[in-house]
């Protein structure tokens, strides 16, 4: 026979609430990682299209508009950066609500990567505007 003490209903409720908060936190992390994947795809695709179309233009091929590479690159890079910022804001709001129920770290590895991605996207956006790269 086991001589473990039986948990009270309050102890069980606290334990279950903690587990629910942990699951919610992990779900928020997964959502942020999905935002990261989406933003990374848009930013990298936008920059790649920009460089590819710019190369076509420099080789003498005619494009419908001389600003086509820049416009497409700016649109996709800006869209990716904006989506990354929206993902960060959503994640931060969820964690703020969760912190009221328990003690969680705000700066997780996924959030750090998301912030780095936002800064990188913003730098690429500016570099396309100024034609630095």
On whether residue 1 sits in a domain, the answer given is no
Single out the residue of 79, 86, 95 nearest to residue 27, CA to CA. Answer: 95
On whether residue 2 sits in a domain, the answer given is no
| Position 133 confidence tier, pLDDT thresholds 50, 70, 90 | low
- Number of compact structural domains in the chain: 1
Per-residue pLDDT, 89: 96
On whether residue 23 sits in a domain, the answer given is yes
Query: Which tens digit of pLDDT belongs to each residue from 1-59?
Result: 566 777 776 666 666 677 777 888 889 999 999 999 999 999 999 989 888 888 888 88
Per-residue pLDDT, 111: 93
Range of the domain at 110: 9-130
Question: In angstroms, what is the C-alpha Rg of the chain?
Answer: 23
Query: Which tens digit of pLDDT belongs to each residue from 65-95?
Result: 777 788 888 999 999 999 999 999 999 998 8
On whether residue 125 sits in a domain, the answer given is yes
Q: Give the total residue count for the chain.
A: 133
On whether residue 3 sits in a domain, the answer given is no
Return d(Cα 38, Cα 60) in angstroms, integer. Answer: 33
Per-residue pLDDT, 112: 94
HSE at residue 39, side-chain half, CA atoms within 13 A, is: 27
Return d(Cα 113, Cα 93) in angstroms, integer. Answer: 17
On whether residue 30 sits in a domain, the answer given is yes
pTM for this prediction: 0.77
Q: 76 vs 52, 114, 126, CA distance in Å?
A: 14, 17, 13
């Amino acid at each position: 026979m086991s001589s473990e003490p039986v948990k009270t209903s309050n102890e069980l409720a606290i334990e279950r609430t903690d587990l629910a908060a942990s699951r919610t936190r992990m779900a928020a992390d997964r959502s942020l990682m999905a935002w990261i994947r989406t933003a990374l795809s848009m930013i990298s695709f936008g920059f790649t299209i920009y460089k590819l179309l710019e190369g076509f233009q420099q080789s003498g091929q005619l494009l419908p508009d001389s600003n086509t590479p820049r416009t497409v690159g700016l649109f996709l890079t800006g869209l990716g950066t904006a989506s990354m910022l929206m993902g960060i804001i959503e994640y931060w709001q969820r964690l703020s609500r969760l912190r009221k129920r328990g003690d969680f770290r705000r700066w997780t590895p996924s959030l750090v990567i998301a912030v780095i991605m936002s800064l990188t996207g913003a730098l690429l956006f500016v570099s396309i505007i100024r034609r630095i790269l």
